Amino acid sequence: MKKILGILGVAVIGGGIALGGYKLFVEQPQVIIERTISPLSNVVKSNYTETGLYNGATTTDFTIAAEKTVNAVVHVKNTAVKTQINPWAEFYYGRGSGARKYEQVGTGSGVVITSDGYVITNNHVIAEATDLEITLNNQKKYKAELIGTDPDNDIALLKINTDQELPYIPFGNSDQIKVGEWVLAVGNPYNLTSTVTAGIISAKGRDLKGNNNVESFIQTDAAVNPGNSGGALVNIRGELIGINTAISSKTGSFIGYSFAVPSNIAKRVIEDLMEFGSVQEVAMGILYSSKENESINGVKVSNIVEDGSADEAGIEKGDVIKKINQVKISKYADLAGQLRAKRPGDFVNVTVDRAGVLLVKNVRLKKRKSTFISKAFKWELINLTKKELKDKGISAGVQIYAAGDDYSENSLRGFVITKVNGEKINDAKSVAETLDALGRDRRYKIIIEMLNLDGEIERIRFR
Catalytic residues: 124, 154, 229
8 A C-beta contact, residue 146 and residue 80: no
Angle (nearest 5°) at CA 24 between 377 and 249? 65
Angle (nearest 5°) at CA 215 between 389 and 79? 110
8 A C-beta contact, residue 401 and residue 417: no
DSSP code of residue 3: H
Alpha-carbon distance values, 45 to 103, 240, 246, 250 (Å): 21, 21, 5, 12
Separation of CA 342 from chain center: 15
Largest Cα span, the chain:
82
DSSP 211-271: --S---EEEE----EET-TT-EEEETT--EEEEEEEEE-SSSS-SS-EEEEEHHHHHHHHH
In the chain, helix, strand, coil percent, each to 5? 20, 35, 40
Q: Give the start-end residues of each E strand in 365-432.
A: 366-367, 372-374, 379-383, 398-403, 416-420, 423-424
